[in-house]
Each structure stands twice: as C-alpha cells, then as structure tokens.
Structure 1
Amino acid sequence: MRVSQNESIRSAGHRRGGRRRVSATAVLAAVLAFTVACTSGGGGVTTNDDAPGLPGGVEDPPRASAVITAPVADAKDVPASTAITFTTDQATETTVELTDAAGEAVEGKLDEEGTTWLPTGALEYGETYTATVTATGDDGRPSETTSTFTTMAKPSNQVRVTSYLGDDQVVGVGMPLIVRFGREVPEKYRADVQRRMTVTSEPAQEGVWRWSSPTEVRYRPKEFWQAGSTVSYRVQTGGLPMGAGWFGRNDLSVDIKVGRELLMSVDNKAKKMTVTRDGKAVKTIPVSLGKKSTPSSSGTMLVMEKLRKTVFDTFDELGPEDGYRTKIDYAQRLTYGGEFIHAAPWSEGQQGRTNVSHGCVNVSMANGAWLFENTRVGDPITVKGTERRLQVGNGWTDWAMDWDEYVKGSALPYEPAADN
C-alpha cells in the first residue's frame, strides 16, 4: 500500500493575488465617515451585521482558493505520466492528495514552484483517480477542490528507456550519466522528457542534461565530479507521450558512486603520460602515439570500456593491403573510432621516443597491466599536441567542449546555479 505524501507551500511568496493591507488610521477614518452619514435623531450608529466583529462594514479577509487546471474533471484517456497542475489564490499553505479508485493514496511531491504535483511513479493504465487540492489562507480556513479522471488504456507502442549505468556502480570523475531511448524522441517532445529527469548529488554539484542524439541524452557536471560523491538520477517517463502515438514504457532510478580522482595526461612532445591520483602525481609512463598518417586525437576522452584481452581486426575497415589482425592485452577504449590505451610490447623500443601506432596510446606490457588495474570506466585522459583534434561525438566526448557550448544541447533553458 502506497503512502500519501502531501506537500505544503508555507511561504507567503507563493500567494497568488495578494490582498491589500488597510492601516488602523484608514479604518478609523472609514468609521467616522460612516457615522456622519448614518446618524439618526437618537445619535446611534448603524453597523453591518454581515461582518461580525468588524466595525463599519469592513469585509472578512478574502478566502484562499485553488483551481485544478489538469487533468480536468471527468477527463478520459489521460496519460499515465500525468501530473496534477493547479493555481491558488490567497493561499499560504497548499496540500495535494491523489487517490485511486480504492481510496489508496498515491505518493508524490510538489515542484519547486508549488504549482505542479508529480506522482513518484507512472499511474496504472485504465484506472480512475481523484486529485484533491486544499488551499489555506491567513484566516486558517481551508478551501478544497477535486478532479476525478481516468487514465488511458495501456498503449501498444511503447519506447523502452534504459540507463548505461546500474545501481551501486563506482565510476571515474568524468563519467556522464547516459540515458537511452529505444526510438528517436522528436525534438518537440524532448523538453517534456527532460522535465522528468532529475539528478541529485552529495555534495551538490552544478550540471545539465544534453541531447547527444535523438536516442540518447547525457548529464555531466560543470566540473569533474568530486571524488567520493554519491549521485542519484531518476527518469519518470512511464506513460509519457513521445510523439506519433508512442509512449514511454518505464521509469528509471539509478544510484551510483564516484571513486577517487584519477587523471591521465599525455604530452605528445614529451611522449609521456602522467598519472595523478587525488591531486598527486603517482606515475610517469613512456608512450607511443599515432604516427603522422594515423595520428592520435588531442582532447579529453574517457575510459569507455576495459578489455583484458581482445583482437584488433581492421581488415573490413582498411582492406586487405592496410588491414591487420592483432591480439591485444589491457585494452581501454577511448573513442568509437577505435582509439585505445593498450599494451604494445612490439613498440616498447619506440615508447617515449617516437610515434608508431595507428592512433592508440601504446604502453609497455607492465604499464598496461598497471593502468588496467588502477583505472575505472569514466576516468579522463587528456592528450595534447597531436595533429588531429578530437571530434565531438566520437565517444563520450562530453569534456571535449566547454561548458557554454555543452549547455546548448539542453532541450530546456539553462539556469546557472545560485552563488550559494
């Protein structure tokens, strides 16, 4: 059985249509004027009995009220993702309750503006619900309004929503949150989807969602995640319209943790990688990068996957003359295009001296094993000084653009975090 969660607006700042306050001097003047106009031969004063306790016909304070704007009363075929939206007037406190046909309360909460109440999960299909909004003003008298509606039948066209990361995963400080959709989300629906995506972190860190494609949206903080942070993200897309008669299939809720800060920096001129852990340099590694015909990419990349043993097979891509098939140890993918950090015992003589690879970061077998043991998915590596710039979209390139450019990919206007 679900537990009701009523949310209150307790600040006068949420009051709609605030009323004027009348000073004591103004009240006295009104009473004296009324006395002059209404005296009889006996000199008595006539009062308005409709306003008991208030002299001279002064009216009661306006009573608080609320109006549910959606779903409207008796609405049918309401999406299971619906929120309860409403307006209030003269209210200093507002509570919202949603119950199903059996009278059981549905858990949910108000948004920051205090005008929208969202269930914590998608509603049941084909179910009747009653929303009740209660507004209370300064006089302490509550005013209640209700709306009963019925959700739509379960749709046949549903879009699966998945997360790249799973619960309790420990990631590197550069790791973006990645949410994928089983079907392209039309641009006009992306803002609605993004409104249902929330991220909380401890400690709090500024960040934003960015659409990397019509089927994928990612979230990154303004700076690298702080080491040891806990991050939770929720996607409430169950029953949400996504265009052309398609609806979100499910909600998501994921809790992850950020590990220690491990950064890799590669200088092409020096042919060396410097590894720092929590701000302290812990290892310097000779490298061989891509030769001039196949240069490595310069920019900040992330470890996307780790393969203890694999085979590089480029015959389909490069053809029989230039292609090759090679067994590889300690491979860590950096781009979709095939750039890796990996052990390359055949180039140990060139590492630290010259570039001979096909675009990868070549290290010795011993250093490859050390890196493989110490890195996590989401750890950043920054390569500097090569002939080619990292192409945005060729991997998790969320850190290949500055913050001002990154926020342009949000479907919602970006609002910078407050100074405090």
Structure 2
Amino acid sequence: MEMDGIRSAERSAPAGRRGRSRLRLAVAAVLAGTLLLTTACSGSDEPSWQGGGNSTPEGTTAASQAPAAEPALSTVAVTSPAAEAKSVELWSEVKYNSEDPANTEVTVTNAKGAEIKGTVDKDENVWRPAEGLAWNTKYTVNVSTPTAEGKTNSVTSTFTTMKEPSNLVRVTSFLADGQKVGVGMPLIMKFGRSIPEKYRAEVERRMVVTATPAQEGTWRWISATEVHFRPKTYWKANSKVFYSVNLKGVKLGDGWYGRSNLTVDMSIGREMIMTVSNKTKKMTVKQDGKVIKTIPVSLGKASTPSSSGTMVVMEKAAHTIFDTTDEDPVNGYKTPIDWAQRITYSGQFIHAAPWSEGVQGRRNVSHGCVNVSEALGEWLFQRTMMGDVITVSGTEEKLKNGNGWTDWNMSWEEYKKGSYLN
C-alpha cells in the first residue's frame, strides 16, 4: 500500500519533481545503510559523528589534533645592584633570580668589555668579585640561561662604582717579598688608623694565607691597628708562604675604606730553637731538632729579672749602643754592645757581654738581657735569623703578652680567641 502510494504520488507529480523525489529516496537509503554499518562495527550506540569513541580520524590521536603548548621560558633577572645604580662599593655582590640556577651563567665586564674575575654561588644566586673593582667605573652584568629549544634567555644590567674617597686607610705588611725568616715568625699587618671591631671579621676574610706544605693557622688582633697570623705549631722548616691582602675599597670604618691591595711571597728557613734555663744558666741551641751548641749565660739579676716565656728574634745589630739615660738620668747607662738580638719591646736582648764572662753559667748580673761571651755571641749571631724562637724559663718574672712578638707565649686555643672569625 505504501509503495503504491508513492508510485501514485510520483505519477501525479510533474516530471521534474518526480526526478528529484527519486534522488532524495536513493540518498536516504544510502545514509541509512551507512549508519547501520557504523553502529555495528563500533559496538557503540552513539554514532561516531556525534563525538563517540571513534571520533578521531584514522592515523591521528586526540593529542596530535590539539595545538602544541609553547614551552615556558626560564626567566632571569638582576636584583642587585639596581639597574643603573651609582656609587656602588667595590666589593659589592651581584644578586640575581633564576628559575634554572644550575644552568645559569653570570658574567661581569668593564667598559672595555674585559671580563672581571669572580665566583658564582648557584645555591644563593650570587656573583662575588675575586678582588675589589675599580673606582668610578661602569660595569655590565649579563645573566643567561638556556631554553629547551637550544636558545638563550638573558638579561643585562649596568652599575657604576663609587668615586675614590678621601678617607682611605693605609695597610702595610711588616714582611716583604723574598724574605726568609725563622719558624716562629708571625705575619704582621698594620693599619694607618684604628679598625672598629664590627669591621674586623671582614678584614680577616680579605687576608688569605697559603702555606706549602699546608698548615693550619689564624689571625689574631694585637691591637686596633695591628693583626698577626701564626700557624697552630711552629712553621714547618723550609716552607713557602704566600699571603694576599685584598683591602682596596673594603670598608674599614664608618666612611673609611682600604687604600690598596698587596701580596707577599716569602719563605721559612731551617728550624732553630734556643732554650734558656735559669736553673742551669745555660742556653741549648737546636737546629732542625739536633743540639748544635750549649752556651753559658748570665740572666737578669733579682732587681732587673729576665722574662720567662717564649719570644722570637725581632731585630739584629752587629754593633749598637744601649742608652737608657733618657729613661733614667740617674742610674741609666750608655754602653757599646756587640752581636745584639732584640727579643722584647722593653729592651731585653741576647748579646755579647765580655764584662760578665767570668760569671756566665754561674750567676745572673744583667739588666734583664741574656748575656753570652763575645765569641759565642758572634757564633750565635751568624746563625740566627729574624723569627727564630727563644724560650726562657725559671726566672722571677713572667713575660707579658704584647711585650714583643709574643704570639707563641700562649696556647693555640687562647691565640684563636683573638680572631673575629673563630
């Protein structure tokens, strides 16, 4: 009946309309067959063209159809000194931010493009100069990190250091390049003005001592204007010692800065130790651990005793004059002396005393010095050097620390207390 109805309709319609009706029926039939086939193959009740399980064209995935995400760049930034900063101190650190600190590179260059030596702390994101920068100079900082595409993400910033101030502190070393000294010689640095305590730790950090072979040691402040360095035990014989003092531009007080840097390259000689006993009235001289001479001595009498303690030879004079008349116009004396070796600031020496040779080894008659004979005074003088050690024991007076280079007159634990880094 339905088919007859269709035919009747076709017969009653005009010829053109009848052709279009046949075409629509054929297309509908094809679509219906395709729909049934797709549903049967997919095992799904939902047609694929409505977003079903097989909605992705063959040979592709959903991820490949989505737009690729742009990789995130690792950002970097200089945080200090501020961009275009002026009057920056010479030892200022460069601080930066980075999302990839392990792969971040930092360079600092001067106006001529020369790279400045420094170290990068990638844990703290800080670049530190190896030495003070130049006064009134413009520097460029470049911080960079690689990207995933093999490119570089970088940032630059500039700053200018401070002008050279008028308030500069002179820093000097007692020792100089090429000197050879005894195993007890302290390294001595002096300052042109007092260094306040709050700046002393930074001063110590800038004074680096390197010994070959390596030896443990520390700085100790003797006063506000003087600091010494000694190893834990006497310097090893024949050591090489190098120290660099990088204080140019370092703040040494409120508004005061170090004037300059310096280095000293020196050496330690053979080991010579002199031991004086008041009990035996003898000096034992050891070189490299071996006794090479025993010398009769006369020490200070009861009214002017010699100091008991450990001292070092501070200076030597083959011939000099002891003059105490300025200190004591009544009882002072003025006497020519041979083979003098100073061991305290207060005026105690090892020296030849021909007038006391008859009692040397038996009785004390000096004004506090270690008297030896003319011949043995010369023998000893020809073999000692500045920094050689002398220890006196058994006298009525103890050596006061600070009365000479008394760095060895205290224990290592006591000595370390004079450092602001310990």
* TM-score, scaled relative to structure 1: 0.80
Q: CA deviation at 1:307?
A: 1.1
Does 2:266 match 1:256? yes
| 1:316 aligned residue | 326
The 1-side partners of 2:137 and 2:129 are apart by: 14
| 2:306 aligned residue | 296
| 1:344 aligned residue | 353
1:34-83 CA-to-partner distances (Å, cap 9, x unmatched) read xxxxx96238775496887xxxxxx98x9877665543332211123434
When Rg is computed on C-alpha atoms for both structures, the one with the higher figure is 2
Greater mean deviation of Cα atoms: 111-120 or 185-194: 111-120
| 2:101 aligned residue | 91
| 1:219 aligned residue | 229
114 and 222 in structure 1: CA distance in 2 versus 1, 3 angstrom threshold: farther
The 2-side partners of 1:336 and 1:275 are apart by: 23
The 1-side partners of 2:311 and 2:169 are apart by: 30
The 1-side partners of 2:334 and 2:148 are apart by: 78
| 2:404 aligned residue | 395
Q: Kindly indicate whether the alpha-carbon contact (under 8 Å) linking 1:328 and 1:342 is maintained by their aligned counterparts in 2.
A: yes
* Aligned partner of 2:383 among 374, 387, 393: 374
Does the residue aligned with 1:76 lie in a helix, a strand or coil? strand
The 1-side partners of 2:340 and 2:118 are apart by: 45
| 1:198 aligned residue | 208
| 1:101 aligned residue | 111
Q: Kindly indicate whether the alpha-carbon contact (under 8 Å) linking 2:185 and 2:312 is maintained by their aligned counterparts in 1.
A: yes
Does 2:81 match 1:71? yes
Does the residue aligned with 2:54 lie in a helix, a strand or coil? coil
| 2:54 aligned residue | 42
* Aligned partner of 2:316 among 306, 313, 324: 306
Q: CA deviation at 1:104?
A: 1.9
The 2-side partners of 1:401 and 1:138 are apart by: 61
Partner letter of residue 358 of structure 2? Answer: G
* Aligned partner of 2:247 among 237, 247, 256: 237
315 and 66 in structure 1: CA distance in 2 versus 1, 3 angstrom threshold: farther
135 and 203 in structure 1: CA distance in 2 versus 1, 3 angstrom threshold: farther
Does the residue aligned with 1:316 lie in a helix, a strand or coil? coil
153 and 335 in structure 1: CA distance in 2 versus 1, 3 angstrom threshold: same
Q: Kindly indicate whether the alpha-carbon contact (under 8 Å) linking 2:343 and 2:404 is maintained by their aligned counterparts in 1.
A: yes
| 1:353 aligned residue | 362
Q: Kindly indicate whether the alpha-carbon contact (under 8 Å) linking 1:63 and 1:90 is maintained by their aligned counterparts in 2.
A: no
296 and 150 in structure 1: CA distance in 2 versus 1, 3 angstrom threshold: same
Q: CA deviation at 1:88?
A: 6.0
| 2:371 aligned residue | 362
Does 2:397 match 1:385? no
Greater mean deviation of Cα atoms: 175-184 or 141-150: 141-150
Q: Kindly indicate whether the alpha-carbon contact (under 8 Å) linking 2:78 and 2:95 is maintained by their aligned counterparts in 1.
A: yes
Partner letter of residue 275 of structure 2? Answer: S
Partner letter of residue 321 of structure 2? Answer: V
385 and 111 in structure 1: CA distance in 2 versus 1, 3 angstrom threshold: farther
Partner letter of residue 378 of structure 1? Answer: G
* Aligned partner of 1:178 among 174, 188, 191: 188
Does 2:415 match 1:406? yes
| 1:157 aligned residue | 167
Q: Kindly indicate whether the alpha-carbon contact (under 8 Å) linking 1:93 and 1:137 is maintained by their aligned counterparts in 2.
A: no
Does 2:316 match 1:332? no
Q: Kindly indicate whether the alpha-carbon contact (under 8 Å) linking 1:287 and 1:362 is maintained by their aligned counterparts in 2.
A: yes
Greater mean deviation of Cα atoms: 103-112 or 294-303: 103-112
* Aligned partner of 1:266 among 273, 276, 280: 276
Q: CA deviation at 1:371?
A: 1.3
Q: Which runs of 5+ in 1 are unaligned?
A: 1-38, 53-58, 415-420
The 2-side partners of 1:142 and 1:109 are apart by: 21
Partner letter of residue 186 of structure 1? Answer: P
Q: CA deviation at 1:135?
A: 5.4
The 2-side partners of 1:353 and 1:146 are apart by: 80
Does 2:284 match 1:279? no
Q: CA deviation at 1:353?
A: 0.6
212 and 407 in structure 1: CA distance in 2 versus 1, 3 angstrom threshold: same
74 and 401 in structure 1: CA distance in 2 versus 1, 3 angstrom threshold: same
* TM-score, scaled relative to structure 2: 0.79
Q: Kindly indicate whether the alpha-carbon contact (under 8 Å) linking 2:101 and 2:125 is maintained by their aligned counterparts in 1.
A: no
| 1:30 aligned residue | none
Query: For the aligned residues, what is the CA RMSD?
Result: 2.8
The 1-side partners of 2:147 and 2:408 are apart by: 49
Q: Kindly indicate whether the alpha-carbon contact (under 8 Å) linking 1:90 and 1:137 is maintained by their aligned counterparts in 2.
A: no
| 1:169 aligned residue | 179
Q: CA deviation at 1:369?
A: 0.8
Does 2:134 match 1:124? yes
Count of residue pairs the alignment pairs up: 367
